[in-house]
Structure 1
Amino acid sequence: MTTRYAALLRGINVGGHKKVPMAELRELLKELGHGDVATYLQSGNAVFSSESGDEKALGTALERAIERRFGFAVDTLVRSHEYLSAVADDCPFPAASLEGRQLHVMYFSEQVGPERLASIDAAAFVPEEFRLGDRALYLYAPNGLGRSKLAEALGKPSLFKGIVATSRNWNTVVKLVELTRD
């Protein structure tokens, strides 16, 4: 059975660092045997079809291929359409009434428990808020991510040590659900 996936690459094409041209990423995914390959934006979003049902193995294979091709490591999460759709459906914030820049999802390589976030005083950041989901964190930042003090606090490497985390704004979350639909 073929499954549609999104590959979420962390930290590429930001500020001129870790440049991965999307045409080359598409070519690399095809070389790995994937079909229906497409990319979205320049910030590390690719979609593809695969017979494999192992998201972790798919991500590891793509990470290795990127390192061989480009000479640097890129953390990569691969998620199925079903997972991406469930994350969008489970959003605890009123996504339909917000601008895409106000809502973000941080995807994690594994489940994150509330104990990791115990050091964050959520009340100190109101009206900004976050909620945990299934291997995801939803962030409501009414003034956008660039001005978000809560996003800055959540971005501390010590909070998610040992876990791959990569964020997408709500517009991208919705688009990836659409692009991975069969």
Structure 2
Amino acid sequence: MVLRPLARDDEDEFLRLVAANTELHHPWVSLPATPEAFRDYVARYEKPDEESLLICLRETGEIVGLANISSIVRGRFQNGSLSYAAFTSGRGYMTEGVGLVLRYAFEKLRLHRIDAQIQPGNRASLRLVERLGFRKEGYSPELLYIDGAWRDHERWAVTAGMLGVEAKPHPTLPAH
């Protein structure tokens, strides 16, 4: 697996994958399904506190998933929120790909903590974060607005130390 930033040039392939995987994503995540929505989506992740990474097969470059690190907060928190979507399932691509995203977040972005909010019925996603070493931190009713309704979510998180990653502190981390 290899990661690369989502780019405007990915529009055709991305929209094709979203259309082909509507049942896989519903009701867990809403991805852009039109050219205009895709362009807005890419623009959002061009901001410094947002990252969108495509998870691709190393051999072919085929996109098999997407992971976003959103709402990056620096200073004493050094935290980002993880979301992801698969474009194929049952092959272990997301376990390896999201694992790479975590290393990227801890080593390159120099974050300390990544959180993920997951709807309780999304068993595949819950199993994924458990495999990757996240710990369950709580439950929040009506946390996020997805697919036309406020959805309950379990809150999960992992720190660099939990995965044994020792990255240099980000320059915005205070000395004391």
TM (norm. structure 2) is 0.31
Using CA pairs under 8 Å that are at least 6 residues apart, name the structure with larger relative contact order, 1 or 2: 1
Structure with the larger helix share? 1
TM (norm. structure 1) is 0.30
